[in-house]
Amino acid sequence: MTIAEVQPALHRDSARPLETEYRPRHPLDFRRTVLYQRHGGGDPTMVTAGSVIWRASRTPAGVATLALREVSRGVIRGAAWGPGAGWALAQLPALCGALDDPEGFDASRHPLIAASHHRNPGVRIGRTDLFFESLASAIIEQKVTGMQAFAAWRRIVTWHGERAPGPTPRPMYAPPSIDGWRRVPSWSWHRAGLEPPQARTIVETARRGEAIGRVFMSAPDGEARDRVLISQRGIGAWTSAETRIRALGDPDAVSVGDFHLAHEVGYALTGTRVDDDGMLELLAPWAGQRQRVIRLMEASGVREPRRAPRLHPEDHRDR
């Protein structure tokens, strides 16, 4: 179902949801693929209620709420509310990994990856096609613990986003518009627990967010997209990779500079820790598909044993 097909129905009866049914042509681990976009268990843009995944987003056509359920193997039913409902339903296949291209991927290069690929054939890399939502969340997650980042995302989106339409199982919110991100006041960032450098980066990037997004989304490859983002003050390789993964489902993006990733890749593939250079060397045989290797490594369940107490998050709000 295309945007052109579903949007006229929205105008006839805006109180009723638009609905569609998606039958992927490939094996699909539905929940693992879609829930990759969630920012922690309290994410106000993404909620699970029983077998239904609810997602609120700010689409190019307006705010939308999407409810998704796998009714049987290979059948996903979706309903959407709000002015962006048509866009959200048309984008549903991409969210579920329909545009993910595993061409050239060879799982047999490592026994762990081969075994995980055999057990998890439905691992797909989905995409949202929503540039600034992905960029803002990645900036918030820079250089802090997941707990801090998820809490700051939850607070800012709830305080400055837009209430999601439809019969959501609890109050949900779509992220702010690009201009909305720019207008978040300094005291609000502080109350949310976000460090000043991240807040400044979001506000400054939002001033040219539309133009940056157009160039980023039309860039021909990952290196070109990195150049677009890394040229912006406060954005480095990690943030660019995270944006590429979430917005575009980039199968080759690697989040260099992550606190845990290099250690986990090293342990999974060699049994010992490595640094970022070592991680890139280990992943080099899968050039073009390195994010897929990371997803399969995560799906395998192999984790490095914890060596130290969990890092205690620092709260700067009382300074």
Say if residue 316's pLDDT is above 90. no
pLDDT band at 192 (very low <50, low <70, confident <90, very high): very high
HSE (side-chain half, CA atoms, 13 Å) at 316: 12
Q: What tokens does 67 get?
A: 């409810």
The pLDDT tens digits for 33-42 are 999 999 999 9
Tokens 């060879």 found at = 106
Provide the 10 A C-beta neighbour count for residue 277.
10
| Buried residues in 132-162 as b, exposed as e (16+ CB within 10 A) | bbbbbbbbbbbebeeebbbbbbbbbbbebbb
* Structural domain boundaries in the chain: 15-105
Cα distance between residue 274 and residue 256, in whole Å = 12
The whole-model pTM stands at: 0.91
Sequence-distant (6+) residues with CB within 8 A of 109 are 285, 286
CB-based contact 88:64 (threshold 8 Å): yes
Q: What is the pLDDT of residue 15?
A: 72
Say if residue 229's pLDDT is above 50. yes
Q: What is the pLDDT of residue 4?
A: 36
Cα distance between residue 197 and residue 201, in whole Å = 6
Cα distance between residue 235 and residue 70, in whole Å = 37
Say if residue 311's pLDDT is above 80. no
Q: What is the pLDDT of residue 6?
A: 35
Fold of the domain built from segment(s) 15-105: TATA-Binding Protein (3.30.310)
Q: What is the pLDDT of residue 143?
A: 85
Cα distance between residue 48 and residue 257, in whole Å = 31
Say if residue 5's pLDDT is above 50. no
The pLDDT tens digits for 67-91 are 999 999 889 999 999 999 999 999 9
